[in-house]
Amino acid sequence: MSIVKNYLSLVKFSHTIFAMPFALIGFVLGMAALKNNNIALQTNEVILRFCLVLVCMITARSAAMGFNRYLDRHFDQLNPRTAIREIPAGIIKAEKALGFVVVNALIFIVATYFINPICFYLSPVALFVILFYSYTKRFTYLCHLVLGVGLSLAPIGAYLAVTGAFDILPLLFSFAIIFWVSGFDIIYALQDAEFDAAQSLYSMPSHWGGDKALKIARVFHFFSGVFLWTAFFLGDFHWLYLIGVILFNSMLVYQQSIVKPTDLSKVNLAFMTANGIASIVFSIFVIAAIILTF
């Protein structure tokens, strides 16, 4: 059990809480689209696809996070905040972490094969995006946006798993994720601004400083809200969706209010607690709204 616990810690499994609720939204939205087109799936097929989506979410994220830890192991060893992580601390050997990444990537591809052809054909693209993020801090301060793009694949992928086709609503949710994740990743990166600058690593806090970085994060979160409101009007959702959006936006405002460039003591509260609550609560109201709308 300790080995499992170590690997779960390596990939910060608890952080799955950020994108997983949006994947569920994409899945339920896809089921609603099939219903509107008078297409009915057998119960066992729905359960199978749902389980495969969960497998894809878990393995894709595990591969991405494991690869990030493997690639950044030398930097993590130098950074006092990250030196206790599994690889630099010697809890998990680097080659075993890389093997873990390969296994998860293979499981992800196999799972997409059993979903439908389009998910299978796009699986290498998805893997490239989520793995490529780990390189971006080496050459661009836009790395936060690349992370956002990686997590934004959740609602699109889940929708594709159900319908096999693209649509505007899951894309709007994905754009909302891009700016939401980018915003809170900037806040999280404030902790390592000085270290990143000293190691010639790129991030918005190390490039522009804490004040400007936080302002950019606020702009990103504003755009996240814009896309969620746009989805409401285009989807003509039940009024419960409004409650979800208001609560989600409120949590974004809250996390912005408790972090200051001169006081980073509440970064973890803003990063994990606020965003975890925002994602879960939003998904509950939106899924309920989808069921009542369609």
User: pTM of this prediction?
Assistant: 0.95
Please give the tally of structural domains in the chain: 1
Q: How far apart are CA 239 and CA 286, in angstroms?
A: 9
pLDDT tens digits, one per residue of 29-85: 999 999 998 888 889 999 999 999 999 999 999 999 999 999 999 999 999 999 999
> Could you tell me the CATH number of the domain that includes residue 121?
1.10.357.140
Q: In the predicted model, is pLDDT for residue 269 greater than 90? A: no
Domain that holds residue 153: 2-293
- At 1 the pLDDT is 64
pLDDT tens digits, one per residue of 173-229: 999 999 999 999 999 999 999 999 999 999 999 999 999 999 999 999 999 999 999
**% of the chain at pLDDT higher than 90:** 87
- At 117 the pLDDT is 97
Least confident of 116-130, 213-227, 249-263, 264-278: 264-278
Stretch 132-155: mean pLDDT? 97
**Pick from 53, 69, 65: which is nearest to 13 by CA?**
65
Name the pLDDT band for 272 (thresholds 50, 70, 90): confident
Name the residue with higher pLDDT: 12 or 138. Answer: 138
**DSSP assigned state of 253:** H
